[in-house]
A and B are shown apart, each in its own frame.
Chain A
Amino acid sequence: MRIVSAVQTWSREILAGWNRFWFQAVDPATLGLIRICTGAMLLYTHLVWGLHLTTFFGRHGWLPTEAVRLLQKDTYAWSYLWWFESPAALWTVHVIALVVFAMLMIGLFSRVVSVLALIATLSYITRAQGSLFGLDQINALLVMYLAVGPSGAAFSVDRWLKSRRAGVPLPVEPSWSANLAIRLIQVHMCIIYLFAGLAKLTGPAWWDGTAMWMALGNLEYQSLDMVWIAQWPLLINLLTHVTVFWEISYSALVWPRSTRPIVLLLAIPLHMGIAICLGMMTFGLIMLVGNMAFVPPEFIRALWPWSAAERGRGGEPAGVVPQTGKAARPAARASGSQR
């Protein structure tokens, strides 16, 4: 009987932990900031597509319909861009997509545009098969989760309009779906790093410590002359090993509060190193945006200079009142950070 009771207690604890992890309401500040950054990155990514739009997607473009469709035969990949080949039609849908991404960035009609942005992003990715890299994968996952949660509930034009209509600053509304979206991003980032690290274990250069040289010494990637580093083989070894250990351990060490700051701080030099030395600023930045999911909303509120408009008078976000008095408790409890 004691075993049965222990199992029941254990099950209840697991269930409570599961519910707390996925469904506890939180301040949507983290999701709001991720929306701004992702929207900006999507806008930039597609503005750059616009520089050579018909050159890539046109009838005689670099990415011919026949080749891409052949590659995607018997798959479920889809894109509305298949319907548009003429320059006028391509430009029309492209400008619409740019407007959608801009609206996502500023948080105007966020609920609708987050779904539209997801559709547009996936369509470009499917159509551009052959010219994609990590940036596109991370763009897609972030916009997918922005469509899950109330991404316009913080730091958005939507919220500003809502407050204006009400005539008073509205309280921050903790939201369980904001937590759900953030949790999904967190779990997805862990899976990405886990497989990025595990895949490296199959390459001898990641074991003998020379892999970082092979990346930094690649002339086509190089955006900063790093040839001098060939004189420092031990430094190259160190950078190589740290990268692998960091990626593999990320999914374990990013959860405990004591190790999380170290893991997140290491993400900055690693991704900015890729950005600055290997010419992939967009990829480096979007990976950092993904890492932002682990930053508690209180931290973002503290840093965000315009956050006062969304706060109450006591310096706390208006819906997240200090833990004094009965009335305050539900809100304070529900605003628990995403830890």
Chain B
Amino acid sequence: MLKSPIIKIAMVDSPMSQSSIRQPRAAVRAVLSLLIILHVVAVFLGPFAMPPGNSQLSAVCAQAFQPYVEGLCLANGYRFFAPEPGPSHLIRYEVTLPDGSVKEGMFPDRQQHFPRLLYHRYFMLTEFINTIDDPAAPSDAAKAYARGYAEHLADVYQAKDVKLYLRRHFVPRMLEVERGMRLSDRSLYKERPLYPASQESDANADR
């Protein structure tokens, strides 16, 4: 307990306090300043060089910082709900059980996945595969993820066969809602096969 103002001032002026109050030495400041500049440039390049739509210059600059940016997970676009909030995506699955019966399910599932953060993890699984998957020319990574989801379900259900469908859920226009359309109206859902890989394109993607 501090009883006396003298003790208080003595503590304030203690060597420990004074040493921490000082700025670092000029040489240290110079080195730190250089590191700060490099770091801030790297932080800036993360979103600036994020494809799609980035310039060639930004890509060249980002290449120089690639180890640092990727090592510290700074390669983020920060494009929250941009270019605009779009439809959401779900995955519907059909698993053929050992007895030949077919079980259907869907994820994310609000009832099953609680708390909300866990639901969001499942939701991001489906959003992510939509982001990396181009039905016209499926990438190796998209195929590997879809196969991974299917293998997981096969493992859980000991299934003989698994089929996955990517279900796109469009948001109705305000006018449609005013006229009584529900957010879960059947006409708002479009579906395409996801696994096994299909070359079918999503004919309804431009709704």
Contacts and interface: CB of A to CB of B under 8 A. Distances in A.
A188 B73 contact: no
Interface in A50-68: 51-52, 55-56, 60-64, 66-67
Contacts of B171: 213-214, 217-219
B117 A180 contact: no
Given A45-B117, A126-B73, A330-B21, A71 B16 contact: no
A169 B14 CA distance: 13
A77 B86 contact: no
A114 to B, nearest CB: 14
B93 interface: no
Interface stretch (A102-110, A226-234, A291-299): A226-234
A176 interface: yes
Contact of B14 (A64, A125, A171): A171
B8 to A, nearest CB: 5
B86 A214 contact: yes
A70 B138 CA distance: 14
A85 interface: no
A220 B80 contact: no
Contacts of A19: 23, 29
B118 A230 contact: no
B175 to A, nearest CB: 8
22 contacts: A22-B36, A23-B29, A48-B118, A76-B67, A141-B74, A168-B1, A168-B7, A176-B22, A176-B23, A195-B47, A199-B82, A200-B82, A202-B82, A206-B83, A210-B174, A214-B85, A217-B171, A236-B174, A318-B8, A318-B11, A325-B9, A328-B12
The 6 closest A-B pairs by CB, nearest first: A203-B84, A64-B148, A203-B83, A199-B82, A67-B144, A195-B47
